[in-house]
Structure 1
Amino acid sequence: MSYSATAERESEPASTHASEVNRVVFASSIGTIIEWYDFLIYGTAAALVFNKLFFPADDPFLGTLAALGSAAVGFFARPFGGAFFGYLGDKLGRKSMLLVTLVIMGLGTFAIGLLPTYEQIGIWAPILLVTLRIIQGIGLGGEWGGAALMVLEHAPKHRRGFCGSLVQVGFPIGLILSAAVFAAVSQLPEEDFLSWGWRIPFLSSIVLVALGTFIRFKVSESPVFLEMKAKKEIARNPFVEAVFKHPKNFLIAVGLKICEVSWVYMLTVFMVVYATKNLDLSKALMLNAIMIAAAIEIVTIPLFGYLSDRVGRRPFYFAGTIFTVLFAFPLFWLMDTRDPYIVIAAIAIALSFGHGLMFGPQATYFPELFGARVRYTGASFGFQVSAAIGGGLTPILATVLVNKFGGSHGVSMLLIALAGITFIAACFARETRHDSVREL
């Protein structure tokens, strides 16, 4: 059956009370905050610490590249998590996968904080670090889709975009928490920071995971999934059905994600390296700029989600890609001024409009592209494949381009090319705000 649907065929989740909707949104958002915190502290540590403690090299560039490469491994693991837990979520239910993925991510993050360094155990240190990063990626790969689906399938039709955007707010809040805790421990003397201070952000995550698991345990299963289960309409092989029987929607999801995810990790990972190494800006300034920009996104992401219920999802992808093309060069010109206020303003503008415009409606738009039978698999796998390509490779490619050409022009051209891919995907995507969440 086609994934397309009309407003006349819309059937809302049966008598889902407002209190239950609020509970599901809260539980999904809290868990997503924790997941993003766990995943993002690695990126910050890779830029500031891991190149020295786990990937020592005579050439600082090679050490930095190796550390960023280890961060990218987590992105490459995310599609496997999306496919595996998406498959189980479409077969067994959404709620159980939310609990499992949160625990996997939390334990992986906590274990990173316990690792000995290269100086202590040699080559086993980076091997163990990369292994735990893979576990992080698998956990996050399965978590996002489940959180998005739980909200989508409980929310009333006219508020799906707004409710879904509250799941997305987990990213900037997680970003603030990760940047804040690293900003705090980076105030320690360098020796203490490299010895034990960097471990605090990883070890403290175990408390957040326990809290998130408790909250998520209390939410009810998706009414859409329960209805499919009662009618015996569960897909026999959700992965095959989502990716091979309906490849257009899968490829569109990959294309829609590529610009936004490349842009945000360029800002939050590569830009920290670029600004501290090439522009001699302080770690504190860059972390503060990221925190301020993320705080603004806590407002702009729900705003864009709310507006997507009024004007549709697609317009935000057109607007976001156009902004990226226009701002790809000015962003670096503003950074090159080295003026703290200009740097903070540039990061804040870039994050909200190059990332938030597209990220806000995403938790609603991606699942809406797929039918209920394969929604977890299709949305998760498409999202995470693009995240692996854009988020995993972009900081590395940007670092190589700056090192090779001695400037930021190559990075700007790369971002413009990726924006072009998303623009084309948006042209082929359909509008979904009137579609039924029960369409198979």
Structure 2
Amino acid sequence: MVVGLRMAEGGASYIFFAFSLAYGAYRGIPNQVMLEGLTISMMIVTVTALFYGRLSDRLGRRTVYMAGAIGLMLVAFPFFWLIDTREPSLVLLAYVLADSVVLAAMVGVQPSYMAELFKTEVRYSGMGIGRELSSVIGGGIAPMIATALLAKYHSSTPVAIYLILLGLVTVVALLFTPETRPREARRADLA
């Protein structure tokens, strides 16, 4: 299940962090504009990831992670549309939506959620194997797939569809994964 859970976050991370720079160059956008958008959004992630982690204590890990996966599917096309404007403020908005809002929802919850899916005796190996396997399957090849799609179709549409499919894999995995929010947090909500 961990492999499926990480498909959206892993694949999207590599597309938003690596492929998007090549896409910006393809669209004639100065590399500085792309890097500034990415850097600023990553600085914001340091706050929003913590926010989502805390929110998952109240609403549940699965709920917040699901919101991130669905958010990825919703932002896939607008991310590229905003970059296509070549307007620096809209490029920044694309990165903030994709990274600081959507990916942060998954990244902020991931450590606790995935650790809580396993018994203590197998937690490290279960989480580690699943996480690293998904990095290869979902993340590592994502920029190559995105580049091949762009080269073949000369459009971001197939890349956005690919992002949506990654989000869908994660949503399906979440449907078969239990909520793991600590009981203490649930009891605190009742008090």
Taking the aligned partners of 2:102 and 2:58, their CA distance within structure 1 comes to 21
Taking the aligned partners of 1:307 and 1:319, their CA distance within structure 2 comes to 12
Taking the aligned partners of 2:33 and 2:39, their CA distance within structure 1 comes to 10
Q: Is the 8 A contact 1:261 1:355 kept in 2?
A: no
1:260 match: 9
Q: Is the 8 A contact 2:55 2:64 kept in 1?
A: no
Q: Is the 8 A contact 1:324 1:416 kept in 2?
A: yes
Q: In structure 2, which of residues 147, 158, 172 is the aligned counterpart of residue 399 of structure 1?
A: 147
For residue 351 of structure 1, report the CA deviation from its aligned partner: 0.5
2:188 match: none
Give 1 or 2: higher helix fraction: 2
The alignment status of 1:273 with 2:22, answered yes or no, reads yes
For residue 297 of structure 1, report the CA deviation from its aligned partner: 0.5
Taking the aligned partners of 2:107 and 2:46, their CA distance within structure 1 comes to 12
Q: Give 1:270's aligned amino acid.
A: F
2:118 match: 370
TM (normalized to structure 2)?
Answer: 0.93
Q: In structure 1, which of residues 409, 430, 433 is the aligned counterpart of residue 157 of structure 2?
A: 409
1:172 match: none
1:427 match: 175
For residue 434 of structure 1, report the CA deviation from its aligned partner: 2.3
SS in 2 for 1:370: coil
Q: In structure 1, which of residues 344, 354, 357 is the aligned counterpart of residue 102 of structure 2?
A: 354
The alignment status of 1:320 with 2:68, answered yes or no, reads yes
Cα deviation per residue 1:181-214 (whole Å; 9 max; x = unaligned)? xxxxxxxxxxxxxxxxxxxxxxxxxxxxxxxxxx
Q: Is the 8 A contact 1:261 1:391 kept in 2?
A: yes
Q: Is the 8 A contact 1:320 1:354 kept in 2?
A: yes
The alignment status of 1:385 with 2:113, answered yes or no, reads no
The alignment status of 1:307 with 2:47, answered yes or no, reads no
Residue pairs, 1:16-31, within 5 angstroms: none
Greater relative contact order, per chain length (Cα 8 Å cut-off, separation 6+): 2
Cα deviation per residue 1:286-331 (whole Å; 9 max; x = unaligned)? 1111110001101100000111111110011221122111111111
Q: CA RMSD in A?
A: 1.2
Taking the aligned partners of 1:303 and 1:385, their CA distance within structure 2 comes to 27
Q: Is the 8 A contact 2:149 2:158 kept in 1?
A: yes
Q: Is the 8 A contact 2:150 2:159 kept in 1?
A: yes
Taking the aligned partners of 1:331 and 1:372, their CA distance within structure 2 comes to 39
For residue 435 of structure 1, report the CA deviation from its aligned partner: 5.9
Gaps of 5+ in 1: 1-251
Q: In structure 1, which of residues 338, 343, 355 is the aligned counterpart of residue 91 of structure 2?
A: 343
SS in 1 for 2:149: helix
Taking the aligned partners of 1:358 and 1:378, their CA distance within structure 2 comes to 19
Gaps of 5+ in 2: 185-191
Taking the aligned partners of 2:27 and 2:84, their CA distance within structure 1 comes to 7
Q: Where do 4+ consecutive residues of structure 1 move more than 3 Å?
A: none
Cα deviation per residue 1:22-41 (whole Å; 9 max; x = unaligned)? xxxxxxxxxxxxxxxxxxxx
SS in 1 for 2:141: helix
SS in 2 for 1:254: helix
